[in-house]
Structure 1
Amino acid sequence: MAEVVLSGYYGFDNLGDEAVLYAIVSALRRENPRLNITVLSNNPQKTESLYKVKAVNRWKLKEVAGALRRADMLISGGGSLLQDVTSPTSLLYYLGVIWLAKIFKKKVFIYSQGFGPVNRPWARRLVRHLLQKVDYITLRDEVSAEDLRALGISRPPVVVTADPVLGLSGSPVDKNKGMELLRQAGADLNRPMVGFALRRWRGEEVYLPAVAELADRLMEEGALPVFIPFHHPEDLEAARQIMKLMKRREAVLLKKELTVEEMLSVASCLDLMVGMRLHSLIMASACGKPVVGLSYDPKVDRFLKMVGAPPAFELPDIDWDELYRLVKTRLGEGQTPEEQSRLAAMSERAQHTAKLAIRCLEE
């Protein structure tokens, strides 16, 4: 029976990356229900429980090497793994896993990653050297493909597909779960609900008050702000800071760490998502909801451009009046037909990534 190892930022209680894992596992199982999947995780026990896969400790070389020896292929991704902005250490980790797989003569499939930026000259050389040894590369956006070509990657095949989480578009969602979670948090389900998925970042002394002002104005007009942390505890603290800055106190905070299925259910209950976190925008879009982006990273801008949504507001300086006007417009109009069409096409491309991975495995 075929076996693959999944490498990514898994087991760190980051809801966006957990959604990527959930989507990849789901897509692979649709293509090959008998596939054995082992995940390199920061929390193997939790990963096994949530996704019904085998998991090993990503920090224990013996366990990682053992998993790769048993496997037929390494799947690296998705997410933004090959970049040195977060830190060069994380880049070295993911390249090290790829190198180890190749030492064991295993196939390597890059799964719908967002590539870059890779700024350090030594890092660019190392990425170029190792990526030309992998078997197949799929990327989630065209800009990533352009950056990879600029790096001088001449082989293997490079295909632009879509973020794995977009493959969840149209999947059955139990909306009752989300309604119950919101009710338990104190939400009035009869009011229009606007989700906020924010994080700590440079210049927060400027943009957090702007968001607080927006939330107050929305409440004055009858809407209900719902703050949804995607990464605990950092995002929880950002939400609490905003709520302290607000004049009104009815806003809702979802303190509970949500599973991917719970987040999809909550997103299906919202009327709009205002997000810094990329996968808050992707998950809301997959549930048919309009989104407004606050950009701290090019990946947010790339996604909004791909789906035909309005451009993101660049942080930290936000024109509060413009942000308010766009939120009101999006609340009134919902997703446009163009967005719906593009999202449907991207959902198909996201599933196609799994088909390419299984084909690579079986060749």
Structure 2
Amino acid sequence: MPVNPLSKIYNMVQYPHRARIALGKRMCDYKTNLPHDVGVKGSYYTGNIGDRAIGEIIKQELANRGYRSQLLSRGSFDKQSTHNILGGGGVIHDWQDLEKLHARLDFLSSGDMILGVGAPGLQSDTARQLVQDCLSDLSLITVRDERSKRVLNDVTDAEIHTTACPAWLYTDPNEKTKQLTGVNFRPWFDMSNDLLSGYFGYKKGIDTNRSKEAYLDNIHQIVDGVDNPVFIPFKQQDEEFAKKHLDIDIFEYEFSVSKTLKKVSQVDQMVCTRYHSLIFASLCSKPVLPIAYAPKVSSLTDRLELPAYKPHKDIPVEFTTPDHVNEMRLQARRNFDLMDDVVNTDR
């Protein structure tokens, strides 16, 4: 059925961030035809600031090392690259349909690389076999945490290196602080109990409605218990969630890594739910209150020697300064040092 042109124009005016993301994706697909050495695929055009940050910093780090690279959208394929990289994000899982996992892994050929990814879990035999077949032919596999390494070690004998998310290579823009408490909350899960227990570490049979209400009670308690709260969205849905449930100042969502990082740099402390809100706050040396909605967050808080709280359980309003930030940056850079070793060996 043809799309009404006026409807398309209305949507562009009503949701300009979606238009910018769609334009970026089209430009990305066009640029795959430009000369380059390395194609990098990930979820860089979904509107998630964390995923976009990964793509931008991978491209920057590759350029610093003399590689010509192009970021590829999730649905594109690259026929020109000497090397292909599946780069960052929690991309190795099968909680969605298997076609998406197929598309990610089919992008890779023998000798290609996976850098700094997360592996939330593999439940089906088909997915496990698919990952096993792909990883056995790769020249380098690095993951962002030990939990992801365990998931992959369960299906492959290939060597897995634990490093850190590439986004740790950003630096604090050192904005003037404004006596604010930054807060970031994400919407409650829209998935079944089986998925919550299988991939996100929640107890089997969790009462999702009651847990959601407890989460909403907690976020109200938190914003009531801090000075000058301001909401910092890392995805458009975050802003919509905050407008629906919170009566506090809200920074407008912008699909910009640099602008989001500057907003985090302006606050004195940060309540962190999304994974990259915790990374950004740590890079800016902010005391944090981490809400571990997923195992990837608690894996990160362990490395930073921070407490972590389930979103639907009791959460004390207390802030702690992250430790080992420089070590995380070194581990993030190690992704590219290992990649250099592989490429130089191939030459």
TM-score by length of 1: 0.75
Q: Distance in 2 between matches of 1:304 and 1:242?
A: 27
Counterpart in the other structure of 1:240: 243
Do the aligned partners of 1:211 and 1:242 also contact (CA within 8 Å) in 2? no
Q: CA RMSD in A?
A: 2.0
Say which structure is richer in helix.
1
Give deviations 1:45-68, integer Å, cap 9, x for gaps: xxxxxxxxxxxxx435xxx2xx3x
Residue in structure 2 matching 1:318, options 313, 318, 327: 313
Structure-1 residue corresponding to 2:145: 141
CA contact (8 A) 2:153 2:160 kept: no
Asked if the contact 2:172/2:283 (under 8 Å) is kept, the reply is no
Match of 1:268, as an amino acid?
S
Work out the percentage of aligned pairs sharing the same amino acid. Answer: 26
1:81 corresponds to 2:88: no
1:170-196 CA distance string (max 9 Å, x none): x351526xx7xxxxxxxxx3x342322
Bigger mean CA deviation after superposition, 126-135 or 254-263: 254-263
Aligned position for 2:342: 360
Aligned with 2:316: secondary structure?
A: helix
Alpha-carbon distance between aligned partners in 2 of 1:283 and 1:217, rounded to the nearest angstrom: 22
Structure that is richer in strand per residue: 1
Are 1:260 and 2:257 an aligned pair? yes
CA drift of 1:298 comes to 0.9
Tell me what 2:163 maps to.
161
2:221 to 213, 216, 232: 213
Give the 4+ runs in structure 1 shifted more than 6 A: none
Alignment CA distance shift 1:86-1:206 (3 Å): farther
CA gap 1:307/1:174 in 2 versus in 1, 3 angstroms: closer
Structure 2 portions without partners, runs of 5+: 1-34, 190-207
Inter-CA distance 226–172: structure 2 relative to 1 (3 Å threshold): closer
State the shift of 1:85 in Å.
2.3
User: Structure 1: which 5+ residue stretches go unaligned?
Assistant: 42-57, 180-188, 244-248
Letter aligned with residue 29 of structure 1? A
**Cα displacement string for residues 324-362 of structure 1 (whole angstroms, at most 9, x for unaligned residues):** 2xx2xx2xxx515xx1xx211110111121122233233
1:29 maps to 2:63: yes
The aligned counterpart of 1:335 is 321
Cα 1:87/1:174, change in 2 over 3 Å:
farther
Partner of 1:6: 40
Deviations 1:189-243 (A, max 9, x none): 3x3423224233254332123211221232xxxx1111122111x2122111221
Aligned length: 291
Alpha-carbon deviations, 1:280-336, whole Å to 9, x = none?
1111111111222222221111111111111x2113x221xx422xx2xx2xxx515
In structure 2, how many angstroms separate the alpha carbons of the residues matched to 1:357 and 1:90? 25
Counterpart of 1:175 in structure 2 is 175
CA–CA distance in structure 2, aligned partners of residues 143 and 217 of structure 1: 33
Secondary structure of the structure 1 residue equivalent to 2:229: strand
Alignment partners' CA distance in 2, 1:236 and 1:2: 36
Query: 1:126 — aligned with what?
Result: 130
Give 3-state SS (helix, strand or coil) of 1:208's partner.
helix
Cα distance in structure 2, aligned partners of 1:212 and 1:289 = 21
Selected match of 2:212 from 175, 195, 204: 204
Partner of 2:21: none
